[in-house]
Amino acid sequence: MVELIIGRWVRRPGILTGLALFFVAIATWLFLGLRTEPVVPVFSQPWQPPLHSGTNLLWVGDGWNWYISGLILLLGGVGILLELNNVGSVQGQGRRRHPALAVHLGVLAAGLLFVGSGNVLTTMLTWVVLDLFILVRGTLQPEGDDGERPGGASTQQARGLSLLGALLLLIGLLPAGPLGPGQPLQGGSLPPETLLLMFLASLIRAGIYPFHLWLLSPERPQLDVAERLLDHMIPVLCGLWLLGWTMDLGTEFFLPQADIVALLLLSLLGSALAAWTAQQQPDHTTLVLVTSAGLAALASALAYNRGPEGLIWPTTAFALGGALWLVGDQVWQAWGWQIPVSVGALALVGVPFTPGFLTQPAVARLLILGDFFYLLLFGLFVVAQSMQIAALLQSWSTAQKVELPTLQPGVLVRLLVAAVLLGLALAITGFFPETIAGLASMPEAIPPTLGNPPNVVAEVPVWIALGLPLLLGIGLVMVQPALWRMLGPWPERLSVLSRLEWLFQMGWWGVNRASVAWGTVLNVVEGAGYVGWVLVFLLMGYLLVR
């Protein structure tokens, strides 16, 4: 609100962006202050709807909630900072600064409210608030950009698909009874039907393949990093946060479930194929991040410690590694410095001294379990991760590189500031995982198959799970040019098929046809044909009486 009011008189983008970052700094200061509280910070507000039993809206500022809030603040602040780089570019033409920045702050605030939720009711209501801000932000497109992608799929329409998750949460409250909305996310008790719907809702919120369509960016020749950070990574972090609590609530329901692991692996395989065969840079980048989130979901199902303790490291690798990979790619194109994009990619791969390395013990359990079915699933993981690594390595290929327009003053400085902030956070989490686990109130988050120090010492299955896909991924990159020439048009066809936009188009067409048919029926029964139906029933009554 303050941003909107001041923006009516102040038009300089630098001042408005500085004001937005000032609000982010205040939120960060309050966030850090929560760790000094002698008791767990809790805020509760009574909620009493008409004709229903009431409960409390609950927010908790500790543990998993606190940790994800910190990641959201970091990514949101970097996104707002880099949004200033769009001034004068194609993405920034025709866009008014103060409404856009106000909506950016709204997305950030709604994300913090979402991941601070303490019960199911608060989660559902803040979900809707977050989606509304995302939809409003999608309307602030530059003039002449209607958000249409090839084939006619509208990005704005697809973004509304994430609201299905809130609907699933609402339906899931029905079997939970009158006490369901007030059940705490930590230590609560929910029936299996509710847990299953919460699991599906968290996959939708996290954009796990095939629920990724609402994350696809508008078709542009150049990637908008700020858009990916605010519209993609922050909502996905919210989904992974919900997935962590869902796994914690349903420990006995989800462990062990070979069918759930198999479905998540098939999802990972599909998104990795889509990322590897993507032809355009925005699609390639989005699908690499979707695959990274899918790996986090798979790790949550295989982790030694269930719930948030099993998701903290893959979520950190996705957030910090993915963001540094995005920003580092821009730094490389603008300045030729490859270290940031390389470090971000290595974090997503999961090499030692990164939080991604602490994810490897989870997928290595596919080898340790010893069952033939799990060995087959490990083979699928190797194929999927190899394609993901090959897609990441495409960032260095000349075909993927896109020349940036003439740099405006300060663009490179802002990119370097963002890269340093993200790189510093990634280094701290990679080199001091025990400290991070302690700050997040998760002392048992270090997997037992890791040694001392846990960021570089591990058992043999962990190194197999890391090294085998890495070698095959490098091999795929080496043979890819010859393989693409041999396959001809099939890689592009596979890309179109695996992105699943055709599925959205078919679904949207079916909804439109059903709406038209229903409208025709209502028009005949209740509209212009109403008198005719009255005459028909009168005639039938007369004949029956006669």
Who's near 25: CB < 8 A, 6+ residues apart? Answer: 77
DSSP, res 299: H
Structure tokens at 99: 């409404």
Q: Rounded to 5 degrees, what are φ and ψ at 458?
A: -155, 165
CB 70, CB 90: distance < 8 Å: no
Q: What is the DSSP string of 299-362?
A: HHHH-SS-THHHHHHHHHIIIIIHHHHHHHHHHHHHH---HHHHHHHHHHHT-TTSGGGGGHHH
For residue 154, what are the β-bridge partners? Answer: 148
CB 42, CB 204: distance < 8 Å: no
Nearest to 168 by CA among 126, 190, 196: 196
DSSP, res 228: I
Q: What is the pLDDT along the chain (546 residues), one digit of tens a residue?
A: 555 555 555 556 677 788 889 999 999 999 999 888 888 889 988 877 665 666 889 999 888 999 999 999 999 999 999 887 765 444 444 445 667 788 889 999 999 999 999 999 999 999 999 999 988 877 776 544 444 444 334 556 667 788 888 889 989 888 888 888 888 998 888 898 999 999 999 999 999 998 998 888 766 656 788 888 988 999 999 999 999 999 999 877 776 678 899 999 999 999 999 999 988 888 899 999 999 999 999 999 999 888 899 999 999 999 999 999 999 988 888 777 889 999 999 999 999 999 999 999 999 999 888 788 999 999 999 999 999 999 998 866 544 444 544 456 677 888 999 999 999 999 999 999 999 999 999 988 999 889 888 988 899 999 999 999 999 999 999 998 898 889 888 888 888 888 888 777 777 677 677 767 766 665 665 555 555 656 666 777 766 766
Instruction: State how far the Cα of 284 lies from the Cα of 392, in Å rounded to an integer.
Output: 9
CB 274, CB 389: distance < 8 Å: no
- How high is the pLDDT of residue 55? 81
Q: Rounded to 5 degrees, what are φ and ψ at 393?
A: -70, -15
CB 216, CB 161: distance < 8 Å: no
- How high is the pLDDT of residue 338? 87
- For the chain, the helix, strand and coil percentages under 3-state DSSP, each to the nearest 5: 70, 5, 25
Phi-psi region of 459 (alpha: psi -120 to 50; beta: other; left: phi over 0): beta
Task: Report the DSSP pairing between strands 55-60 and 42-47.
Answer: antiparallel
Nearest to 184 by CA among 69, 38, 64: 64
Q: What's the distance, Cα to Cα, between the start and end of the chain in Å?
A: 73
Count the Cβ atoms, other than its own, within 10 Å of residue 74: 20
Q: What is the largest CA-CA distance in the chain?
A: 95
CB 271, CB 209: distance < 8 Å: yes
For residue 236, what are the β-bridge partners? Answer: none
| Helix and strand element counts for the chain (H, E) | 24, 2
CA quadruple 358, 362, 368, 373: dihedral sign = negative
Count the Cβ atoms, other than its own, within 10 Å of residue 18: 13
Q: How far is CA 522 from the centre of its chain?
A: 40
CA-atom Rg of the chain in angstroms: 25
* Opening angle at CA 173, ends 123 and 182, nearest 5: 55
DSSP, res 46: E
Q: Where are the domains of the chain?
A: 1-86+97-141+154-499, 509-545
Q: Is-above-0.75 flag for pTM?
A: yes
Nearest to 388 by CA among 320, 312, 477, 464: 477
Structure tokens at 338: 């490859």
Who's near 119: CB < 8 A, 6+ residues apart? Answer: 55, 56, 57, 58, 181, 182, 183, 184, 185, 188
The 3 state secondary structure assigned to 82-129 is HHHHHCCCCCCCCCCHHHHHHHHHHHHHHHHHHHCECEHHHHHHHHHH
Q: Looking up tokens 């109403």, which residue turns up? A: 530
- How high is the pLDDT of residue 530? 57
For residue 56, what are the β-bridge partners? Answer: 46
Nearest to 117 by CA among 60, 42, 189: 60
For residue 47, what are the β-bridge partners? Answer: 55
